[in-house]
């Protein structure tokens, strides 16, 4: 399965590199997500579908436990017209597994070691000016603790404020990392990951983002 996943990821990475438009990139991302999760026998169940906007631009925020979390969200938003660029850390750009895919899939590079974040915010502004949304995991990295979420970084709120993006909160209720392990190690069929969509949060809301998120999904 690991060999197949690497093959598929790099095959789509090459396709993405040849894409002639951002819409083609988004379509390929969705195709990839469906193909890989289907191979893993994983289905996505979306709760509160009515809360998914049909159009517009947002800063989508989600908790983060597994490497397949972006794929889960891509499928959850399949029937909306929201097209987002993922914030991706430099390590993914340099990865032999994900590098080609990440660099060409519609992403904004985040170099956490850089002392100058102006390049990142300039790219984010450019993406928004092109009518795209931005998707980010505000925890900054995968949560490997026995808690629903780990602490949010301040950067997500700054992105929303600088670009006047209302916030679309998403909560992956199922521990997708556990499901992924079961899919790979046991080849269990008919696995399901539940994802919940929250209510839009105004970028003007001064309540700490983590507090707002926890309240929406009853995580206290």
Per-residue pLDDT, 207: 95
* Separation of CA 10 from chain center: 19
What percent of the chain is modeled with pLDDT above 90? 79
Euclidean distance between CA atoms 89 and 102, whole angstroms: 10
Give this prediction's pTM: 0.94
| Contact of 60 with 135, CB cutoff 8 Å | yes
What percent of the chain is modeled with pLDDT above 70? 100
| Contact of 60 with 136, CB cutoff 8 Å | yes
Q: Which of 216, 170, 220, 177 is nearest to 195 (CA)?
A: 170
pLDDT digits (tens, 9 = 90+) for 179-212: 999 999 999 999 999 999 999 999 999 999 999 9
Backbone dihedral region for residue 187 (phi beyond 0: left; psi -120 to 50: alpha; all else: beta):
left
End-to-end CA distance of the chain: 37
Element (H, E) at 124: helix 118-129
Per-residue pLDDT, 59: 98
């Amino acid at each position: 399965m690991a060999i197949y996943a690497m093959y598929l990821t790099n095959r789509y990475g090459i396709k993405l590199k040849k894409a002639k438009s951002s819409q083609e990139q988004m379509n390929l991302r969705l195709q990839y997500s469906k193909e890989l999760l289907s191979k893993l026998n994983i289905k996505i169940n979306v709760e509160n579908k009515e809360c998914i906007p049909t159009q517009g631009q947002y800063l989508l925020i989600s908790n983060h436990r597994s490497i397949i979390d972006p794929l889960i969200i891509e499928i959850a938003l399949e029937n909306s017209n929201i097209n987002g660029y993922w914030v991706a850390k430099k390590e993914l750009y340099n990865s032999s597994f994900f590098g080609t895919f990440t660099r060409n899939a519609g992403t904004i590079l985040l170099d956490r070691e850089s002392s100058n974040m102006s390049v990142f915010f300039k790219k984010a502004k450019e993406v928004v000016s092109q009518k795209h949304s931005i998707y980010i995991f505000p925890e900054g990295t995968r949560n490997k603790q026995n808690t629903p979420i780990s602490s949010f970084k301040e950067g997500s709120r700054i992105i929303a404020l600088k670009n006047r993006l209302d916030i679309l909160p998403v909560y992956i209720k199922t521990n997708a990392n556990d499901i992924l392990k079961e899919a790979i190690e046991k080849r269990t069929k008919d696995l399901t990951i539940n994802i919940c969509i929250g209510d839009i949060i105004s970028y003007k809301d001064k309540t700490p983002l983590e507090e707002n998120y926890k309240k929406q999904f009853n995580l206290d």
